[in-house]
């Protein structure tokens, strides 16, 4: 099958590209390389260095590659940056979706699979784990923009018949996550701990996240290629506090870790976990990699990069 991956040089996108190539799909990548890396892209996979915020270039690129399915992962992913500059966040995460969806329609793509957020979309739910019926009450512009992007995709589906699948991720971690950015606590902690430095926790560390391994997220995307249209949470149902994450690092590395605590930051939820029952029922997906097994794989990968 002919497929295209926006953000395919990034953390999740490049792992999806690897899997697509492994299955024999004809795959191309769109990435502006702001945070993605050309070295993440499989040898032989065409990489179009362009920006999803440029509608004309996006349409030309998709016209050239003629994908049947588009995986849309290119995004501004930093919650703190979205709080500091909501307009920039929206220009990428909302207008970018509009450009990609319109290019998909104009060039007769069959399906668009959108990587959204569950970790930032539901705000502070009254009950956990949150499922897809949980009220949408984001605490950051990032969450607002992702939900707006979902709605534009839904509109294109209704008006033009573009098949739409939305995957709302929990906190994804694993190999290739950028340890130097502001997003991705596991990658940031891994880099600092391996370097003998203290990881920084913003808040008291009792805030909880639902950590899902990138390999499991890749499998969800592959299943979404032919599964029913719809919106699906992709998570584990398990809340893990940041303090417990530190303890997991201690167990795996066999060394004590003393975090540095700093004031909590605006826009971040305190507690979240996602119910992925719909994905299990309709896509046949469920997480297979535990937090500790995923951390061990991640740590080994980062060691090999040193």
Which H or E element spans position 27?
Answer: strand 26-30
Which H or E element spans position 145?
Answer: helix 141-160
Q: Which residues pair with 48 in a beta bridge?
A: 30
Distance CA(32)–CA(7), nearest Å, equals 8
Q: Which of 12, 83, 75 is nearest to 268 (CA)?
A: 83
Catalytic residue among 122, 142, 152, 232: 142
CA dihedral 293, 297, 300, 304 (to 10 degrees): 180
Residue 129 preceded by cis peptide, ω within 30: yes
The reply to whether 48 belongs to the active site is: no
Q: CB–CB of 193/249 below 8 Å?
A: yes
Ramachandran quadrant class, 289 (left: phi over 0; alpha: psi -120 to 50; beta: rest): beta
Pairing of strands 230-234, 111-117: unpaired
**Residues, the chain, total?**
306
Q: Which residues pair with 4 in a beta bridge?
A: 28, 70
Distance CA(235)–CA(64), nearest Å, equals 35
State the CB neighbour count (10 A cutoff) for residue 51: 16
State the CB neighbour count (10 A cutoff) for residue 254: 6
Residues marked as catalytic: 142
């Amino acid at each position: 099958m002919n497929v295209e991956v926006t953000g395919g040089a990034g953390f999740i996108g490049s792992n999806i590209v690897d899997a697509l190539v492994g299955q024999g799909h004809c795959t191309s990548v769109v990435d502006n390389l702001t945070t993605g890396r050309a070295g993440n892209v499989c040898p032989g996979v065409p990489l179009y260095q362009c920006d999803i915020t440029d509608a004309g270039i996006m349409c030309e690129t998709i016209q050239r590659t003629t994908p049947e399915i588009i995986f849309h992962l290119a995004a501004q992913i930093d919650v703190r940056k979205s709080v500091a500059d909501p307009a920039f966040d929206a220009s990428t995460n909302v207008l970018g979706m509009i450009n990609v969806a319109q290019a998909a329609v104009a060039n007769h793509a069959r399906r668009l699979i959108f990587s959204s957020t569950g970790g930032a979309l539901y705000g502070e739910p009254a009950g956990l784990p949150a499922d897809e019926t949980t009220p949408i009450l984001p605490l950051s512009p990032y969450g607002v923009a992702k939900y707006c992007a979902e709605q534009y995709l839904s509109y294109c589906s209704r008006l033009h018949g573009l098949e739409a699948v939305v995957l709302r991720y929990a906190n994804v971690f694993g190999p290739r996550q950028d340890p130097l950015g502001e997003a991705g606590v596991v990658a940031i902690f891994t880099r600092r701990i391996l370097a003998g430095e203290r990881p920084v926790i913003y808040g008291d560390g009792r805030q909880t996240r639902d950590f899902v391994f990138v390999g499991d997220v890749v499998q969800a995307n592959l299943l979404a290629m032919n599964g029913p249209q719809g919106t699906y949470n992709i998570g584990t149902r398990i809340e893990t506090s940041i303090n417990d994450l530190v303890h997991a690092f201690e167990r795996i590395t066999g060394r004590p870790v003393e975090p540095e605590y700093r004031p909590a930051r605006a826009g971040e939820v305190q507690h979240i976990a996602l119910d992925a029952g719909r994905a299990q029922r309709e896509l046949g997906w469920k997480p297979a990699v535990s937090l500790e097994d995923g951390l061990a794989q991640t740590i080994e990968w980062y060691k090999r990069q040193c």
